[in-house]
Amino acid sequence: MNFMSAVSVALLALRVNLLRSVLAMLGIIIGVSAVIAMVSVTEGAKRAMEERIASFGANLLVIRPGSSAFGGRRSGAGTATFLTDADVEAIRNEIPGIVAVAGEMSGSQPLVVAGENWTTNVQGVHADYFEARDWFVESGRAFTPAEVRSGARVIMIGRTVATELFGAADPLGQTVRVGTVQMEVIGIMAPKGQSSWGTDQDDTVFAPITTTRSRLLGYQLGVRDPVFTIYAEVAPGTNISHAVADLEELLRIRRNIQPGAEDDFSVNNLAEFIRARNETETQLGVLLAAAAVISLLVGGIGIMNIMLVSVTERTREIGLRLAVGARRADVRNQFLIESVVLCVTGGIAGMAIGVAGAYGIGNLGGFPVSIHPAIAGIAIGAAVFVGLFFGFYPAHRASRLDPIEALRFE
């Protein structure tokens, strides 16, 4: 018996008992659709998260001095843990693959214009900072490297500060007293929204780091040109772990750390955060796979049950087929094909329901949904496997029937 006629015989047999066939498929349908819906929704959430991280800058390395209370650091007299402008320049010149690097130091300062005041965090930064953070002015201009070198009295303000101090008026060109210094507003930053830890990133002011150091944050930090934090952006496609290793080596030498001693600084990067998140996702994936396996197992048992019933019911038919010349393999294949057709039909229906369900959940909850094309192949493949695996025993049983007994079966 050739394959196509076997499939048409199988389809006929399934149509004859349509309701029962649908009920038998139900386990597969529910299993496949649930798994597809879950996978699509989690995949969508993952994509959205990745986009948010990319907007912050996955290639950004953040370097901070180590906490002086830890690490067994040998702090000789007069040496501070602060990073400096010299470190910034060294990184810029010696680490391959660095696109932008900038130091930052900040502190809270009162801002005053005629009739309004507002206290906010003033960040003194190098000109490269905006490139590294991928954050640019919306109107006006950013300060230049020359202005940073000369300690110009210019600021760029965040959207929140602009609103608080100027309302609807145009802040550009206005003078604001920052702490005790009169400074000119030369730019307004593009809105950035909330940070991932919930603070308003637009409630800030940027000034050249030199100006901040000399006029605003008059600390005696015991080190020349200190910075609190260095931001370094790695060129896309650069191996981040290599860049991190190079950076660490450079800073160990510059900070005179003995071999074997611990670093007194830290290099953090969002890639690590992404890796941690990926681990969570792997665990979620394992859970989803377990749910898929269990639902297919339950579905498969349903298929096996219905196939056993079908074999018993059609004993006379099997006897007849054997009597008119069907080989045992023909009978076995017929029931195997029926079982596979049953499962694949269920798989396709489940896939359709799952995709619809995923979009439904996405619309209802406002989640993004991402449907991977490979999922169709996986669903069908799993259905074929379940059909063959759970259909084998009933089919084998059918093929072992004695034609005489089978023909006499009432």
How many whole angstroms separate alpha carbon 170 and alpha carbon 174? 8
Answer for the pair 231, 62: CB distance below 8 angstroms, yes or no: yes
Written as six digits, the tokens of 344 are 């694949």
- Residue 259 or 325: the one with the smaller Cβ distance to other proteins is 325
Start-to-end C-alpha separation, the chain: 27
- Residue 142 or 401: the one with the smaller Cβ distance to other proteins is 401
* Crossing angle between the packed helical segments 374-399 and 18-56, to the nearest 10 degrees: 150
Helix or strand holding residue 154 (H, E): strand 154-157
- Residue 74 or 328: the one with the smaller Cβ distance to other proteins is 328
CA–chain centroid gap for 35, Å, is 19
- Residue 27 or 319: the one with the smaller Cβ distance to other proteins is 319
- Minimal distance, residue 297 CB to other proteins, in Å: 32
- Residue 109 or 399: the one with the smaller Cβ distance to other proteins is 399
CA dihedral 274, 275, 276, 277 (to 10 degrees): 50
- Minimal distance, residue 401 CB to other proteins, in Å: 12
Answer for the pair 207, 61: CB distance below 8 angstroms, yes or no: no
- Minimal distance, residue 370 CB to other proteins, in Å: 44
What amino acid occupies position 199? T
- Minimal distance, residue 19 CB to other proteins, in Å: 15
- Minimal distance, residue 332 CB to other proteins, in Å: 12
How many whole angstroms separate alpha carbon 286 and alpha carbon 303? 25
- Residue 9 or 137: the one with the smaller Cβ distance to other proteins is 9
CA dihedral 327, 328, 331, 333 (to 10 degrees): -100
Helix residue ranges, H only, 112-186: 129-133, 145-150, 159-166
- Residue 16 or 287: the one with the smaller Cβ distance to other proteins is 16
Q: Tell me the CB-side half-sphere exposure of residue 40, using CA atoms within 13 A.
A: 28
- Residue 341 or 353: the one with the smaller Cβ distance to other proteins is 341
- Residue 226 or 319: the one with the smaller Cβ distance to other proteins is 319
Q: How many residues belong to the chain?
A: 410
How many whole angstroms separate alpha carbon 2 and alpha carbon 6? 6
- Minimal distance, residue 305 CB to other proteins, in Å: 22
Helix (H, G, I), strand (E, B) or coil at 35: helix
Question: β-strands 175-178, 154-157: how paired?
Answer: unpaired
- Residues in the site for other proteins, rule: CB under 8 A? 1-2, 5, 9, 12, 16, 316-317, 319-330, 403-404, 407
- Minimal distance, residue 397 CB to other proteins, in Å: 16
- Minimal distance, residue 307 CB to other proteins, in Å: 18
Closest by Cα among 179, 99, 174, 185 to 138: 185
Closest by Cα among 318, 338, 319, 314 to 387: 338
- Minimal distance, residue 410 CB to other proteins, in Å: 9
